[in-house]
Amino acid sequence: MQSLKEVRTRIASVNSTKQITNAMKMVSASKLRKAQNVIIKLRPYALKLQEILQNLSASQEEDEGNVFMSTREEKKILLVVVASNRGLCGAFNTNVIKSTNNLISSKYEEQAKNGNVKLICIGKKVSEYFSRSDKCEVIKQFDDIFNSLTFDNVVPVAEEIMKLFSDKHFDKIEFVYNKFKNAAVQILEIEQFLPIKAPEKNIEQPTSVDYILEPDKENIINEIIPKTLKLQFYKTLLDSFASEHGARMIAMNQATENAIELLKNLKLTYNKARQAAITNEILEIVSGSEALKG
């Protein structure tokens, strides 16, 4: 059995850890509330704008299509992998890394063998992992973007990614990230960014969208596409940011509960050891007294 001093030391250590995890849970809950409000307000606008863009792109003729709509043979692939700068958020980062590895090994196996799959990493955890990995080359890292996640700070990064496609350095660009559902649930998403996908046709309920376009269709499409793509990229980062704090809040809450349970067991162990020590002392006193009488 552990000595009383050892048990007391462990109790103090676990209690200190519990205070830290509880504080981290409260901080993450506060940050989650702010990030959740932003993504919930932005999502309907972003989705509606994306829907309009897809419907307009579906009605475009091949010869008048915008450069961001052009579909090419998928020889060169760019994966934009989004995670977090810090750990202590459960399987949040691990799931993104696993999903990226599976995507490279299965869907883009042929391109990866030819060295035609490249990565852009957003978040120190994925940047550190894939920088050490020999699967794919990391061409860019944007780890500081989460320090000030605003639309103005995101736009230059989005423009750089869009330029890689328009200059034909890559034939397809996909995002790998965690989509925010609620504080307890994050959905791992693999989403095509470029080229712009046309809406899926539903035979039972055919899509019939009639837009009044001013001044003309071509100018509107050329104007709306860059804005929509930038907004889509911003939404992706907001989703991941909110998911990170949700995952960390849950992880720290679980850690706090585990610490409380461990403290109960340690205190029980301490009381048993203390009771045993007191019993031994009483026995020694009684034995000594009987010996003196004898």
Sign of CA dihedral 71, 75, 76, 82: positive
| 168: alpha, beta or left? (left if phi > 0; alpha if psi -120 to 50) | left
Q: Which of 148, 171, 177 is nearest to 73 (CA)?
A: 171
Q: Is residue 89 flagged as an active site residue?
A: yes
Query: How far is CA 30 from its chain centroid?
Result: 17
Cβ neighbours of residue 86 closer than 8 Å, sequence gap 6 or more:
124, 125, 248
Distance in Å from the first CA to the final CA of the chain: 34
Radius of gyration of the chain (CA): 28
In the chain, beta strands by DSSP E? 77-82, 117-122, 137-141, 172-182, 185-194
- Residue 178's SS3 state is strand
Q: Which of 89, 103, 104, 120 is catalytic?
A: 89
Tell me how far apart the alpha carbons of residues 289 and 282 are, in angstroms, rounded to a whole number.
11
What is the side-by-side order of every strand in the sheet holding 137-141?
137-141, 117-122, 77-82, 172-182, 185-194
Q: Which residues have a catalytic role annotated?
A: 89
